[in-house]
Structure 1
Amino acid sequence: MILLTVILLAIVSLNTAFSYYIVFSEEKRDVASTWAWLLLLTLLPGIGIIAYLFLGRKLLYLSLFNDDILEEIGLPKVVELQKELIKSEKLHVPETLLQRQPIKLISLLLESNQSPLTTNNSVSIIANGEDKFDQLIKDIDKARHHIHMIYFIFRMDEIGSKVLRALEQKAEQGVKVKLLYEPAGAKAMSKGFFDRLHELGGVAEPFLGPKFLPISLRTNYRMHRKLAIIDGGIGYTGGFNIGNDYLGLYEKMGYWRDTHLRIEGHAVRTLQSRFFMDWNAAVPDHMLEYADRYFPPSHSKGTSYVQIVSSGPDNESEAIKKGFIKMISMAKKSIYIQTPYFIPDDGLMEAMKIAIMSGTEVKVMIPNKPDHPLIYRATLSFIGELIDLGAEVLVYDKGFLHSKAVVVDDELLSIGTANFDIRSFRLNFEVTAFIYDQRLAEKQVELFKEDAEVSHVLTKEMIRGISRSEKMKRQISRLFSPIL
């Protein structure tokens, strides 16, 4: 009995110490996350401590990324020049968007992320896995100098092996192949999966993989970006990872609805610089150094204006979230959002509410098949508030909706890797393209409307008709949403 008392006192003391640490030590942690952790530690002593060790620790890599490459390709000078042009009202923007005044959004992303506005981009929206992988492999087959890739998930299955074979063939031809993957997304990968690629001169490495343990204990701060850059002239980014499930071959999830971008033009330089920083931070033994061949001049005559914005726990700007808030606040007619998870923080949620109450048509599409039940319940809690205010929420019934897209007034759009949730804004490394192109915005709205045909509307009656126990589960999930 005495021993049990001592153990309980030790747990309570340790729990109290952790609580003080969260409140007083990590001064820059947001208030919502602080309260969520205090609640978990109070309700589940011991278990809460273990959860904090896996989920709650702040990122220690404060100088993780070296941005020297940005200086070498001249991006900071371009950013400063564009800031001056904005001040003198001389920055050129598409004539079709003059009434939208996109300068405000452009300026925000210049300030918060040092993201230059790029021109002459030819951008294609890819809405299904077959098209994405067919085009990607075709571009890989045409590579002459280098192939750079980052993926959150790279599965050891049919499509993963097909992409890997294509990379191996190019490595055998002397093309420089570099692949960065997230360890958490490669749990089922055999140890020798990339051996042949390495033998042929390619390099495939985990992002901040474990150095002393056989498995990674890093639950947060994941590399969620999906990038592919081929010969410095073609870039890909968006929601698709590499695996059979992204072709709709995973029976549990069914058809996989996602959105990806293929870009040719000046925006590829920004994607390439992002890869350089990520690669050099994660793989210091194979550092990439600037060479003209990695940043060739673009001959694209496309008409899309694009800003590539990245964010992550290495800085606190939350630039992608700020971009979403600004887009929503600029809306005069309509806002269309597709996201697998809808867990906004207070600022983003308030922007959504203001838009709805101001008479803006707001439509949000979410999946009907949750891959994370706790997160999905939190999503439904937030969604219920928007429905009460007059938003239309559609639930995609054909399969799993993984698309991450925002369209405002059929004129401005964003597509990338960031979900509409706190994890994407604060805890993961993400990248999103903000695109100023009415034609592409209208194309994305068409895709939204096509998806709406295989969706059902979530009504107030449906939200209010759930059981008392389900309501409680949703509220509890929402309480912990800042740390999910």
Structure 2
Amino acid sequence: MTWLFLTLHVALIVCLGLRILLRNDLQPDVRMGWLTLVVLLPYVSCVLYYLFGEVAQRRRGRGHLLQVQDFAVQAHVVQQASLVGKSRPHPAVAGATERMAAHVAPQWQAAFSYAASVNGFQPQPGHSAQLMADGGETLRRMLMDLDAAQHEINLLYYLWRDDQMGTQVAQALIRAAARGVVCRAMVDGLGSRPLVGSALWESLRAAGVQLAVALPINRPLQVMLNSRLDLRNHRKFTLIDGRIAYCGSQNCVDEVFAAKAAYGPWVDIMLRMQGPVVAQMQLVFASDWQQYATAEHAPYLPQSQPQALASPGFVALAIAEGPSERARACPQLFATLITSARQELVLSTPYFVPDATVLDALCAAAWRGVPVTLIVPARNDSAIVGAASRSHYHRLLQAGITIYEFQPGLLHAKTLCVDGQVSLIGSTNLDLRSFDLNFENNVLLQDADTTQAIRARQAAYIAQSLQITAEQVHGWPRRQRIWNNLLAMLSPVL
């Protein structure tokens, strides 16, 4: 009996280990993390690997899910087939690569070219943006735009609660639906689970608002058998009449976020944008609506296609990352932007658990003389993430990177500013979850005024932060350093 048990034990470790070693899509650190877990906890690791080990939409295969670019092309083909009789890519996807030199400065062309390769969306001129002062202003401006909508409203949020902000936005949708505006609202099945099925949700349905739940978990056993519970739609945006987009880090919740009030207030950042990038985000929404939420097609309404502003405006494009898109696109985009820096690089993120690609790019930028500043929250709502983040402090400080920990609340703003000219803003955190598991949305833009506004907001974060010194890190107790490094070692599988 003992020999049988020992044989099964070894066979389990060998078979699972071979499965991990045979995969071509794993980074070496992720592979090592899983192999370590298999050796230390063979039985537990089998369950964990089945539930969380492989990034799959459904274990039936990912082939039935279109990438955003393919969806955009097909959507345009459906609309234009009766008129032109042949396939043409959507205008938001159509090749403007040859025009990039006219609109994007040479220093940024590599970054914009890489960003364009993710979904096929091309950088377009003709944008304007206003940086919202805080969550209160975001709500006020959004409600005004929602009440002025004439054709169509599309909302997608990871978190939506029936608090003050969530209720007021819902009431604005009900008013819009009553006057004939087509309203669609989509939420993530886990992040917005308290809202789904609530009285507020049903009032939206009763008013004629079209509702959808992305990646639902109402049948958790079925999800665990066919997919992964931790694949989440983390996108956050509001689209109004195809003309206006609110995008950034803010969910449809109050800043105090009652569910985690102990870490509040949650400090976010949002842009109100106009221009062709809205069409690109509209396609992202339609793709999610059809593929991840319902089988119903959300048409890309012709009357909602925005035109470039009368003034030249600035260059921007939308970027939608996720498990259905090209693997490693997100960290490679960050690394490309970081490599482009010549004068200054400032980042803020609530969750800093980067992979080797991004970590090496940050350190390399600092070593070649670029001032690099990282701003993170002092208290993280995830103790595991907080500890894993601090495990990187020694290496970052050694490279000359300045680290600030934000004190008043949970700094939730995800921002990247390069040389005062280029900004990346959206829903993506600098962690492995955003890189590999979440569906995210971002906007990359080249504009000195908008970037300086975001940079001024980052300076305000720094003014409310404490700088972390090498002496502090060296003074951490051994048990803290061991704990931080242990969690960092296992972070690829957490």
Normalising by structure 2, we get a TM-score of 0.89
Say whether 1:394 aligns with 2:395: no
Q: Which range moves more in the overlay, 8-17 or 136-145? A: 8-17
Q: Which range moves more in the overlay, 221-230 or 119-128? A: 119-128
The equivalent of 1:240 in structure 2 is: 250
The equivalent of 1:155 in structure 2 is: 161
1:24-78 Cα distance to aligned partner (Å, 9 max, x none) = 2x33222221211111122122222222233212214334236343455565666
Question: How far apart, CA to CA, are the structure 2 residues paired with 1:198 and 1:39?
Answer: 48
Give the direction of change, closer, same or farther, for the CA distance of 1:433–1:255 in structure 2 (3 Å limit): same
SS class of match (1:415): strand
Question: How far apart, CA to CA, are the structure 1 residues paired with 2:306 and 2:38?
Answer: 53
The equivalent of 1:121 in structure 2 is: 127
SS class of match (1:23): helix
- Shift of residue 251, structure 1, vs aligned partner: 3.2
Say whether 1:46 aligns with 2:43: yes
Question: How far apart, CA to CA, are the structure 1 residues paired with 2:354 and 2:13?
Answer: 29
Question: How far apart, CA to CA, are the structure 1 residues paired with 2:103 and 2:260?
Answer: 43
The equivalent of 2:469 in structure 1 is: 459
Say whether 1:83 aligns with 2:92: no
- Shift of residue 283, structure 1, vs aligned partner: 3.7
SS class of match (2:247): strand
Question: How far apart, CA to CA, are the structure 1 residues paired with 2:344 and 2:308?
Answer: 34
Question: How far apart, CA to CA, are the structure 1 residues paired with 2:217 and 2:9?
Answer: 29
Give the direction of change, closer, same or farther, for the CA distance of 1:14–1:208 in structure 2 (3 Å limit): same
Structure 2 regions of 5+ residues with no counterpart? Answer: 77-87
Structure 1 regions of 5+ residues with no counterpart? Answer: none
- Shift of residue 102, structure 1, vs aligned partner: 1.9
SS class of match (1:374): helix
Question: How far apart, CA to CA, are the structure 1 residues paired with 2:433 and 2:402?
Answer: 24
The equivalent of 2:110 in structure 1 is: 104
AA aligned opposite 1:199 = A
AA aligned opposite 2:250 = F
Say whether 1:64 aligns with 2:70: no
AA aligned opposite 1:166 = A
Say whether 1:196 aligns with 2:193: no
Misfit runs of 4+, over 6 Å: 4-9
Say whether 1:184 aligns with 2:182: no
- Shift of residue 310, structure 1, vs aligned partner: 1.3
- Shift of residue 345, structure 1, vs aligned partner: 1.4
AA aligned opposite 2:244 = I
- Shift of residue 346, structure 1, vs aligned partner: 1.4
SS class of match (1:232): coil
Q: How many pairs align? A: 473
Question: How far apart, CA to CA, are the structure 1 residues paired with 2:158 and 2:46?
Answer: 27
Q: Which range moves more in the overlay, 70-79 or 121-130? A: 70-79
- Shift of residue 422, structure 1, vs aligned partner: 1.9
Question: How far apart, CA to CA, are the structure 1 residues paired with 2:354 and 2:119?
Answer: 20
SS class of match (1:435): strand
Question: How far apart, CA to CA, are the structure 2 residues paired with 1:75 and 1:423?
Answer: 31
The equivalent of 1:31 in structure 2 is: 28
1:96-120 Cα distance to aligned partner (Å, 9 max, x none) = xx4x622222222223431211211
In 1, are the aligned partners of 2:280 and 2:318 still within 8 Å (CA)? yes
Give the direction of change, closer, same or farther, for the CA distance of 1:283–1:363 in structure 2 (3 Å limit): closer
Say whether 1:384 aligns with 2:394: yes
Normalising by structure 1, we get a TM-score of 0.91
- Shift of residue 395, structure 1, vs aligned partner: 0.4
SS class of match (2:55): coil
AA aligned opposite 1:467 = P
